[in-house]
A and B are shown apart, each in its own frame.
Chain A
Amino acid sequence: MSHLDSLVPLEQSVSTRPESDTTIKSDMSRRNANSWFTPRVGLSPGRNRALGIASFLLPLILWSAISYLPFLWHPNIKITDAGDVSYFKTGMQVERERFETEYGKLVTSGGALPQGVPTNPVYLPAPHEVATALYTSFTTEPRRKSEQWFHESLWHSITIIFWGFTLSSLVGVPLGVLCGTYAAISRLQEPFIEFFRYLPAPAFGALAVAILGIHDAPKIAIIFIGTFFQQVLVIANTTRKLDTALVEAAMTLGSGKLALLFKVVIPGILPDLYRDLRILLGWAWTYLIVAELIGTSSGITWFITQQARYKNFDNVFAAIIIIGIIGLLTDMLLARLAKRFFPWDKSGDKQSAGA
């Protein structure tokens, strides 16, 4: 019946039945709530999923278009027949302009004309090439015996991140919690940390090598420097956001100073602290590439630079994508675990809805 109602033209339904005015209004507001663009209103699970997939699909479609539609970009010509141009070789890429000049010369002077197909520069491989490389990069044997397989360099990077982040957290989390809890510690620590966090971590590269040698230690140190100072400030802020009334309630229930810290402040901020660490872990990854360039290049950075040198740009893209996948998967796993760890935390539901 209500379906039929909505089929009646608007003016008619208003003129014949003025009381239906309200139903039309509520209908409109409902449609409004159902809109894609209502500020601060969540989407249905179906739309959530669709948009989540689209967020990956859109760049992929763009990339495919540039790669597979010869009239889009394709600034180079891949030679299929060198003709009479002395320096052209089959399979080589030349810029479109160069090709056209040489072609023009031969048209006027007479001779075998070169042939070629439009192509993108070697540094932009097509999606299918990268997709294959996601697999073949793991199976490509290193060119030299001393070099590492891809999975080995990947694992090396992961251990660097792990140690840099773990060491930073071992100091940074307790210090952050103390800063957020006690004004005295905050005043003693935070002004300096506030200053230090503006110093770019890579700037300490040379120093780190001088002190810690050329192997893994300086890399771990860079991750540490990049993470630690932010970590203390972020966690101090999170700690300060804990409702003071909870602490006061505990005091009226006879909690001593230590109990306040360990039984109220720490359990109270735990879900937020965990969320902070998830975000900070993401930041730690961004310092990885710089860190691995310091001293002897290693890990995934070494792999990427090496493959770029060999012009295996499909492997370069594959390696970058795999970093992204590892990051995304760890975060999704950590979000999943948070639900198990903190069953009382309601704000967590919103956060992990996207994952």
Chain B
Amino acid sequence: MTLEYQQQTIEVRDRFDKLKARDITLQVQSLGKTFSTNGNTVNALTDVSFDVHRREFMTIIGPSGCGKSTLVRILAGLEFATSGQVLLNGDRVTGPGPDTGMVFQTYTLFPWLTVKKNVMFGLRNRGISESMALQEAMQWIDLVGLERFANHYPHQLSGGMKQRVAIARALAAKPRILLMDEPFGALDAQTRAKMQSYLLEIWRNIDITIVFITHDLDEAIFLADRILVLKANPGEVQELIEVPVPRPRLAGQMLETPFISTRQHIGQLIHSPSSEDDGLSEVIRMTPVGDEVEPQW
């Protein structure tokens, strides 16, 4: 039996066939992560496995506390898994490096560098000469539409502009994969929608694989080829969903059946009673329990 969100048009199915025929860029193999604090061990991630194909746009979504941030930090090499491994183009990820670009939720532009120097940072790390780096950086700044702000300092930019520079800076370092940890989480709704379209536009034009963390359902569906849905306690893969919405994505598609059915399905997955709302539902039950008790007296 196929559910509504699993019904794909020929066009969409064709896209997925092509996508899956491409090389695998990122391979995550039974990743596990436990934290121990004060003698208590917490399972943040358990047996997480998935593949990301070249030029794929994957979003990862899940309730808070499902370990999605931990997961992306492990992918970036900023944290280490307790078990399992991450392979990038077949090589094991053992630490952070220029192969895995990252855009953070907080603004991480270097405040002491102008926009263009920020974008040049990764290029200079690769040993490219100042003038060459500048030339290349300007192309990336063009791509995110900020050429007029090349000589501005980060504190002179709006939140959306800062994140655009952060994307340009990460891409300029020529990563094989771009990891994004709720990069638009701090932006207002309007800017956020614009940034999503920007990002898709950039992604369409260059050869980059993106793994994007979010807790926003619409964002997850709007951007993704496939969505990895995690569940909390312990962080496990619940489902890997193929988004049935054709590309290019437009805001209007959010009102159409493929989008809505996907949204409903993920909504049910994330808000299933097994998730961490347990405490809350007990509180809600308390009043009726009291009502039931009273007539017995």
Which of A121-129, A150-158, A247-255 contacts the other chain? A247-255
Which of B24-32, B95-103, B188-196 contacts the other chain? B95-103
B127 closest partner in A (C-beta):
A254
Q: Which of A267-296 contact B (CB under 8 A)?
A: 267-268, 270
Q: Which of A250, A253, A254, A344 has a CB less than 8 Å from the CB of B111?
A: A344
Q: Which chain B positions have C-beta within 8 A of A263?
A: 121
Whether B125 contacts A342 by the Cβ 8 Å rule is: no
Q: Which chain B positions have C-beta within 8 A of A250?
A: 110, 121
Whether B173 contacts A253 by the Cβ 8 Å rule is: yes
Whether A251 contacts B153 by the Cβ 8 Å rule is: no
A249 closest partner in B (C-beta):
B108
A149–B94 CA distance with the chains assembled, in angstroms: 68
Q: Mark B104-141, 1 if CB is under 8 A from A, else 0.
A: 10101011110000000110011000000000000000
Known: A252-B101, A254-B126, A343-B153. A243 touches B106 (CB 8 A): yes
**25 A-B pairs in the complex with CB atoms less than 8 angstroms apart:** A248-B96, A248-B104, A249-B108, A249-B110, A251-B97, A252-B77, A252-B100, A252-B102, A252-B175, A253-B101, A253-B170, A254-B97, A254-B98, A254-B125, A254-B173, A255-B125, A256-B125, A263-B121, A268-B110, A270-B112, A344-B111, A344-B112, A344-B154, A344-B155, A345-B112
Whether A268 contacts B108 by the Cβ 8 Å rule is: no
Q: Mark B42-86, 1 if CB is under 8 A from A, else 0.
A: 000000000000000000000000000000000011100000000
Q: Which chain A positions have C-beta within 8 A of B102?
A: 248-249, 252
Which residues of B pack against A, CB within 8 Å?
76-78, 95-98, 100-102, 104, 106, 108, 110-113, 121-122, 125-126, 153-155, 166, 169-170, 173, 175, 179
Whether A253 contacts B122 by the Cβ 8 Å rule is: yes
Main secondary structure of the interface of B (DSSP, over half): loop
Q: Which of A246, A249, A267, A346 has the most CB of B within 10 A?
A: A249
Main secondary structure of the interface of A (DSSP, over half): helix
A79–B110 CA distance with the chains assembled, in angstroms: 72
Whether A254 contacts B122 by the Cβ 8 Å rule is: yes
- The answer to whether the Cβ of A322 comes within 8 Å of any Cβ in the partner chain is no
Q: Which of B78, B97, B104, B112 has a CB less than 8 Å from the CB of A342?
A: B112
Q: Which chain A positions have C-beta within 8 A of B98?
A: 252-254
Which residues of A pack against B, CB within 8 Å?
243, 245-246, 248-256, 259, 263-264, 267-268, 270, 342-346
A330 CB, nearest partner CB in chain B, Å:
25
A242 CB, nearest partner CB in chain B, Å:
11
Q: Which chain A positions have C-beta within 8 A of B154?
A: 344
A256 CB, nearest partner CB in chain B, Å:
8
B159 CB, nearest partner CB in chain A, Å:
15
Q: Which chain B positions have C-beta within 8 A of A248?
A: 76, 78, 96, 102, 104, 108
Whether A253 contacts B169 by the Cβ 8 Å rule is: yes
Q: Which chain B positions have C-beta within 8 A of A254?
A: 97-98, 122, 125-126, 173
Whether B104 contacts A264 by the Cβ 8 Å rule is: no
Known: A259-B125, A346-B155. A252 touches B110 (CB 8 A): no
Whether A246 contacts B173 by the Cβ 8 Å rule is: no
Whether A251 contacts B173 by the Cβ 8 Å rule is: no
Known: A252-B100, A343-B153, A344-B154. A243 touches B125 (CB 8 A): no
Q: Which of B125, B126, B153, B169 has the most CB of A within 10 A?
A: B125
A223–B174 CA distance with the chains assembled, in angstroms: 51
Extra inter-chain contacts (6) besides given A249-B102, A253-B125, CB under 8 Å: A246-B108, A248-B102, A249-B108, A253-B98, A254-B126, A346-B155
Whether B125 contacts A246 by the Cβ 8 Å rule is: no
Q: Which chain A positions have C-beta within 8 A of B166?
A: 249
Q: Which chain A positions have C-beta within 8 A of B169?
A: 253
Q: Which chain A positions have C-beta within 8 A of B104?
A: 245, 248-249
Q: Which chain A positions have C-beta within 8 A of B170?
A: 252-253
Q: Which chain B positions have C-beta within 8 A of A268?
A: 110-112
A267–B108 CA distance with the chains assembled, in angstroms: 14
Q: Which chain A positions have C-beta within 8 A of B78?
A: 248, 251-252
Q: Which chain B positions have C-beta within 8 A of A253?
A: 98, 101, 121-122, 125, 169-170, 173
B178 closest partner in A (C-beta):
A252
Q: Which chain B positions have C-beta within 8 A of A255?
A: 121, 125
B257 CB, nearest partner CB in chain A, Å:
39
A254–B154 CA distance with the chains assembled, in angstroms: 21
Q: Which chain B positions have C-beta within 8 A of A249?
A: 102, 104, 108, 110, 166
Known: A252-B76, A254-B97, A344-B155. A243 touches B108 (CB 8 A): yes
Whether A245 contacts B112 by the Cβ 8 Å rule is: no
A9–B18 CA distance with the chains assembled, in angstroms: 77
A345–B101 CA distance with the chains assembled, in angstroms: 27
A344–B156 CA distance with the chains assembled, in angstroms: 9
B99 closest partner in A (C-beta):
A254
A342–B96 CA distance with the chains assembled, in angstroms: 30
B170 CB, nearest partner CB in chain A, Å:
7
Q: Which of B98, B104, B110 has the most CB of A within 10 A?
A: B110
Whether B106 contacts A252 by the Cβ 8 Å rule is: no
A268 CB, nearest partner CB in chain B, Å:
7
A250–B155 CA distance with the chains assembled, in angstroms: 18
A248–B154 CA distance with the chains assembled, in angstroms: 18
**Which 3 residue pairs of A and B lie closest in terms of their CB atoms, listed nearest first?**
A254-B98, A251-B96, A253-B122
A262 CB, nearest partner CB in chain B, Å:
12
Q: Which chain A positions have C-beta within 8 A of B113?
A: 267, 344
A327 CB, nearest partner CB in chain B, Å:
29
